Amino acid sequence: MAHRPGFVLEVDRSTPPTLFHHGEGFRLEKLPIGSRVVYPSEALSPLKHPDAAIREALLHPVDMEPLPALLKPGMKLTIAFDDVSLPLPKMRRPDVRQRVIEAVLDLAAEAGVDDVVLIAALALHRRMTEAELRHAVGDRVYDAFAPRGLLYNHDAEDPDNLAFLGETDKGEEVEINKRAAESDLLVYVNINLVSMDGGWKSTATGLASYRSLRHHHNVRTMQHSRSFMDQHRSELHSSNWRMGEVLRKSGIKVFQIETTLNNDTFPKPFDFLQKREWDWTARDRASYVAVSKSLERTPSRLKRSIFQSIEAPHQMTGVNAGDVEAVHKLTTAKVFEQQLVPVSGQTDILTMGLPYICPYNVHSIMNPILVMCLGLGYFFNLYRGKPLVREGGVLIMSHPTPWEFHPVHHPSYIDFFEQVLADTTDPIEIEKTYEKSFAEDEWYRHLYRTSYAYHGVHPFYMWYWGAHALQHLGGVIVVGGDPKAVRRLGFKPASTLRDALEMAEDVVGRHPSITHLHNPPLLVADVS
């Protein structure tokens, strides 16, 4: 059956309760009559022969010579790939990166290329563990390269292995991984889960240092990205594209390979999460009851490990290779084909259920800062044109928001939450007063480089990610969250959706329009 596109449903008496994600759990909520629910499109049909499609893309790239013509004996080849933050949830083996990397390496072997290095392009994210690297690139590639030190995580704080390439015309410094910069060919293997990913952002962000990243990961850039899911109206992307130009002028040859996935997100028994409620069969309803009732009685640690073990049945819908910008245009079109949903007009109140995962808590804990980043950073920005919620409107999100942090992955988050947010929640003030001390803290730097910690500055970036939403919204309410943690974020806690809607009326007035973002599976609202 052909996939059904996303659409907007107007709630009436016959509408069944609507599913809200709620961390490692779910809620069914009865929305007021007249509310709108934006449903994502169903999964696009995958490529029938993904390996053949990858080979075809490598042999017939866009605006570039075929890959075999770029591979020569004696050359220096670097393959960089997206880190653990993509895709979400992690996909079932074989991961699409493995398929692409094996195809590239096969051609390199055929051409007699000996000097090959693989780098996880993780910018300031935490290093990937062996298990995560194995999952991404496959055991064959891992066993062949990692033991010889030829497969490793990018280190944005290693002065000996960074190359300064110059400045953009706006004075932005460009510094990336030295091995990548000095290679005869840099092949970048990307997964474009959302339209924000890919393009020059892959190399100019993924392989960059703090010195370089701070020029676009800041409050001003985020407030001028409307939204960062729309490359043409995103200052984040403009900055990355300017940096890409510096990379190009420095003589770095990038062969970009971008892949897109369908939004087949949840495997059984969680597949009811991606169905529209009225399509739920008796089995789906039984699954919902069984899963949600047992989750209520499950300790949070166990719940987390159950959810973090979910492997999405994502399948590849497209693969393009060649020139960075030409490839990215095709990729973005494919992502929008899967995710774009036309929505007419803005709303006073936007509701959303936040799931258990965001790009920065894979195999980890969704701490309150990440809750803010997922809701106000990512989901709020899932629009093209205008934000779904009007200026001065209210955002209601549902998440348990526990006052919990992963001590290994998020050490600087703990201090950010305890010290910085206790003082102020204003992104500009935070950036001005605190960023430098966290970014240059030797202990955080040590943990980032040798343990599995996010960089000291990372919680700041999470907060900046939501800067546009904070500037735009009249209020944020969290349903079912830990009240203390929610208040620390500067938001208001509510126990039920009904309470939250009443509280929101104080801000937006009586009889407000309400829209629910039924997400994930991911969607981008094309608001007219």
Partner 1 sequence: MRARLPRAGFPYRAPTTPRGIEPLPEEPRWGSDYETDWARRTPARYARFFIVEGPMRALVRAIASPTRRGMDRLDSVRGPVIFAANHHSHVDTPLLLTSIPERWRHRTVVAAAADYFFTNRYTSVASALAMGAVPIERTRVTRRSADELAGLIAQGWSLLIFPEGGRSPDGWGQGHRGGAAYLSSRAGVPVVPIHLEGTGRIFAKGDKRVRPGSTTVTFGAPLSPEPRESSTRFAARIEAAVAALADEARTDWWSARRRAHAGATPALTGPETTSWRRAWALGDRRSRRRRDRPRWPDLG
Binding site for partner 1 (CB under 8 A): 48-51, 93-94, 98, 102, 105-106, 109-110, 112, 114, 116, 138-141, 143-145
Q: Which is nearer to partner 1, 260 or 351 (CB)?
A: 260
CA distance 241 to 325: 9
Please say which residue, 104 or 420, places its beta carbon nearer to partner 1: 104
The residue among 79 and 207 lying less far from partner 1, judged by its C-beta, is 79
Q: Residue 515 to residues 280, 285, 393, 442: CA-CA distances in angstroms?
A: 22, 24, 11, 45
Judged by beta carbon, residue 185 or residue 478, the one nearer partner 1 is: 185
Residue linked to tokens 């800062």: 369
Q: Please state the closest distance from residue 362 (CB atom) to partner 1, in A.
A: 20
Q: Number of helices and strands (H, E) in the chain?
A: 22, 20
Angle at 98 between CA 58 and CA 310, to 5 degrees: 135
Smaller CB distance to partner 1: residue 238 or 317? 317
- Rounded Cα distance between 92 and 46, Å, is 14
In the bound state with partner 1, the residue whose beta carbon lies nearer, of 16 and 112, is 112
Residue 118 vs 194, nearer CB to partner 1: 118
Q: Give the shortest CB-143-to-partner 1 separation in angstroms.
A: 5
Is residue 342 helix, strand or coil?
strand
Question: Is residue 222 a contact partner of residue 464, using CB atoms and an 8 Å limit?
Answer: yes
**Pairing relation of β-strands 475-479 and 389-398?**
parallel
User: Shortest distance, CB of residue 387 to partner 1, whole angstroms?
Assistant: 40
Nearer to partner 1, 101 or 247 (CB): 101
Q: Which is nearer to partner 1, 46 or 490 (CB)?
A: 46
- Strand segments (E) across 215-346: 254-261, 316-322, 340-343
How many C-beta atoms lie closer than 10 Å to residue 392's C-beta?
Answer: 12
Helix axes 50-59, 96-111, angle to 10 degrees: 50
Q: How far is the CB of 112 from partner 1 (least distance, A)?
A: 7
Residues 6+ apart with CB under 8 A from 98: 136, 137, 138, 141
Is the Cβ of residue 116 or residue 453 nearer to partner 1 in the bound state? 116
In the complex with partner 1, the residue whose CB is nearer, 152 or 403, is: 152
Selection from 375, 339, 384, 373 nearest residue 230 by Cα: 384
The length of the chain in residues reads 528
Nearer to partner 1, 144 or 163 (CB): 144
The CB-of-79 to partner 1 minimum distance in angstroms stands at 12
Residue 421 sits at φ, ψ, to 5 deg, of: -70, -25
CB contact set of 353 (below 8 Å; sequence gap of 6+)? 19, 20, 21, 22, 26, 27, 397, 398, 399, 519
Q: How far is the CB of 273 from partner 1 (least distance, A)?
A: 24
- Report the chain's terminal Cα–Cα distance, integer Å: 30
Report in angstroms how near the CB of residue 151 gets to partner 1 at its nearest. Answer: 10
State in angstroms the smallest separation of the CB of 94 from partner 1. 4
Q: How far is the CB of 47 from partner 1 (least distance, A)?
A: 9
Calpha distance 44→338 (Å, rounded): 6
In the complex, the smallest distance separating the C-beta of residue 317 from partner 1, rounded to whole angstroms, is: 14
Shortest Å, Cβ 139 to partner 1: 7
Looking at the Cβ atoms of 13 and 48, the one nearer to partner 1 is 48
The answer to whether the beta carbons of residues 89 and 310 sit under 8 Å apart is: yes
Written as one letter, the residue type at 511 is H
In the complex, what is the shortest distance from the CB of residue 184 to partner 1, in angstroms, rounded to a whole number? 18
E strand map for 344-485:
347-353, 383-385, 389-398, 475-479
Distance of closest approach, residue 115 Cβ to partner 1, in angstroms: 12
Parallel/antiparallel/unpaired status of strands 76-82 and 115-121? parallel
Residue the block writes with tokens 């062969």: 255
How far is it, in rounded angstroms, from Cα 243 to Cα 173?
8
SS3 398: strand
In terms of Cα–Cα distance, which of 21, 138, 18 is closest to 375? 21
